[in-house]
């Protein structure tokens, strides 16, 4: 029942090292992440000797439902089980097999996260599985295909593997991606009477990228209750479509904003939702700055995830309007980052960092301004960098150990 398909050429994934390390310690490794992020390809590339079975196939799923023990017993030496969110109850039977023969790296599971899957992992595989998250390509991984394109083109294309490795039309890809997500995943996760209203919510959320989330305002604009908005945001987070950035307020006595910000896990989807049809539009779009910030925040999230770490990322904002776009917890301390889409540096970019330094926190570092210019330099101890031109990418820039 295992299947063999030719694998398209793809960039080496930064998560592979952590995947192998986890497989040496755990009998099960679970790779979660958004649809189309390359989970199946990674698992099959990293473990070419493992048979591969997709539970997306109705016949395979029926066999697994009918005789789960017999189904799993076909692969005593291990197997890759793809799309396990389609049959989370199978993990209860997998637990018994793991306990009887707990060899490391025996089973690899991939899935697009859903509450039922997370519950099954917590109940059946606690202590038996490492859980990793694979996001779309990082800038470092994209270098496999040549020099990075302009910022506008990256904002338009996004980072999903198939767009780059197969040269797909970004606009067509995201149109199909959104339709599949709304019609399949949303229906599976929540009861939505009118999918058009949910799509309106997504568009409005894209327009608020990088803003402190206001459930009441979204409720009024969408025409549903604030409770429904909270539920929908939870669904987007559970299915890896959005990233929540928490505010930092520990050890700061002044009053600060305590609501979160939301970003899309792939900036290309946010760009599509905003109705942008050509990269050139992004050169003059009023939301370019927010989308550029979204791209950088997502890169920082990938940096942690690819190392098998929970992202230690925050933003700072007080009730006087002082803010820092991104705070990165590293081995050296708390690294503040200002993110600007401009190609020309001005000293105004340092305003938030100067305020942050004035708070007197013992672990605060001088920080960085990420902008879209070509010149890398230092001003008053602050590094000025183009994040798309970092030689080692974020992996070298933010050391975690």
How does pLDDT run across 345-394, given as a tens digit for each residue? 999 999 999 999 998 887 888 999 999 999 999 999 999 999 999 877 88
Contacts by residues 192-198 (CB-CB < 8 Å, ≥ 24 positions apart): 197/222, 197/223, 197/224, 198/232
Residue 182 has pLDDT above 80, yes or no: no
Same-domain status, 83 and 221: no
CA dihedral 16, 17, 19, 21 (to 10 degrees): 160
Residue 7 lies inside a defined structural domain of this protein: no
Quick one: what percent of the chain has pLDDT higher than 70? 95
The pLDDT tens digits of the residues spanning 291-301 come to 999 999 999 99
Nearest by Cα to 138 from 265, 290, 320, 29: 265
pTM for this entry? 0.93
Q: What integer best gives the mean pLDDT of the chain?
A: 91
Same-domain status, 101 and 145: no
Same-domain status, 264 and 382: yes
pLDDT (average), residues 136-150: 93
Other Cβ atoms closer than 10 A to 359 = 14
Domain residues for the domain of 235 are 139-397
Q: How far apart are the first and last CA of the chain?
A: 43
Helices (H) and strands (E) in the chain, counts: 18, 13
CATH number of residue 61's parent domain: 3.40.50.300
| Total residues found in the chain within this entry | 401
Q: How far, in Å, CA of 209 to CA of 292, rounded?
A: 10
Same-domain status, 165 and 263: yes
Same-domain status, 173 and 300: yes
Same-domain status, 152 and 260: yes
pLDDT of 5 reads 41
Sort strands 242-247 and 313-317 into parallel, antiparallel or unpaired. Answer: parallel
pLDDT of 315 reads 95
Same-domain status, 185 and 113: no
The pLDDT tens digits of the residues spanning 322-352 come to 999 999 998 888 999 999 999 999 999 999 9
pLDDT (average), residues 20-32: 97
Q: What is the largest CA-CA distance in the chain?
A: 67
Same-domain status, 86 and 146: no
pLDDT (average), residues 137-156: 94
Residue 5 lies inside a defined structural domain of this protein: no
Taken in order 390, 391, 394, 399, the sign of the CA dihedral is: negative
For the chain, how many structural domains are there in total?
Answer: 2
Q: How far, in Å, CA of 130 to CA of 325, rounded?
A: 31
Q: How far, in Å, CA of 235 to CA of 190, rounded?
A: 8
pLDDT of 8 reads 44
CA dihedral 14, 19, 25, 28 (to 10 degrees): 160
pLDDT of 255 reads 55
Residue 254 has pLDDT above 60, yes or no: no
pLDDT of 282 reads 94
Same-domain status, 145 and 95: no
Nearest by Cα to 55 from 19, 28, 29, 91: 91
Q: Residue 187 — pLDDT band, cuts 50, 70, 90?
A: confident
pLDDT of 4 reads 43
- Provide, for the chain, the percentages of residues in helix, strand and coil under a 3-state DSSP scheme, each rounded to the nearest 5: 45, 15, 40
Residue 4 lies inside a defined structural domain of this protein: no
Same-domain status, 153 and 286: yes
């Amino acid at each position: 029942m295992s299947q063999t398909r030719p694998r398209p050429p793809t960039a080496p994934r930064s998560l592979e090292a952590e995947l192998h390390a986890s497989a040496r310690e755990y009998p099960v490794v679970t790779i979660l992440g958004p649809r189309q992020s390359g989970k199946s390809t990674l698992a099959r590339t990293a473990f070419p000797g493992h048979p591969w079975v997709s539970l997306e196939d109705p016949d395979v799923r029926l066999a697994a439902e009918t005789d789960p023990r017999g189904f799993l017993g076909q692969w005593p030496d291990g197997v890759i089980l793809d799309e396990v969110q389609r049959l989370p109850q199978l993990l209860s039977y997998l637990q018994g097999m793991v306990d009887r023969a707990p060899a490391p790296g025996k089973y690899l599971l991939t899935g697009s996260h859903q509450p039922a899957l997370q519950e099954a992992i917590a109940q059946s595989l606690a202590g038996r599985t490492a859980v990793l998250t694979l996001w779309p390509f990082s800038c470092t991984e994209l270098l496999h295909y040549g020099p990075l394109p302009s910022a506008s083109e990256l904002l338009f294309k996004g980072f999903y593997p198939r767009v780059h490795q197969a040269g797909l039309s970004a606009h067509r890809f995201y149109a199909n991606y959104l339709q599949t997500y709304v019609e399949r995943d949303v229906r599976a996760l929540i009861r939505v009477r009118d999918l058009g209203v949910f799509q309106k919510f997504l568009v409005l959320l894209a327009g608020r990228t990088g803003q402190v989330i206001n459930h009441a305002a979204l409720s009024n604009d969408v025409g549903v209750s604030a409770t429904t908005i909270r539920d929908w945001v939870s669904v987007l987070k559970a299915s890896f479509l959005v990233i929540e950035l928490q505010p930092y307020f520990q050890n700061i006595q002044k009053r600060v904003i305590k609501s979160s910000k939301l970003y899309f896990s792939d900036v290309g989807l946010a760009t599509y939702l905003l109705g942008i049809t050509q990269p050139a539009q992004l050169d003059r779009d009023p939301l370019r700055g927010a989308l550029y910030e979204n791209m950088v925040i997502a890169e920082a999230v990938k940096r942690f995830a690819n190392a098998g770490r929970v992202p230690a990322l925050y933003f700072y904002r007080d009730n006087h309007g002082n803010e820092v776009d991104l705070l990165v917890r590293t081995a050296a301390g708390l690294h503040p980052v200002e993110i600007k889409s401009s190609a020309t540096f001005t000293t105004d970019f340092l305003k938030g960092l100067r305020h942050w330094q004035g708070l007197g926190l013992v672990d605060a570092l001088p920080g960085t301004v990420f902008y879209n210019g070509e010149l890398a330099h230092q001003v008053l101890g602050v590094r000025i960098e183009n994040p798309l031109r970092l030689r080692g990418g974020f992996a070298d820039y933010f050391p975690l150990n």
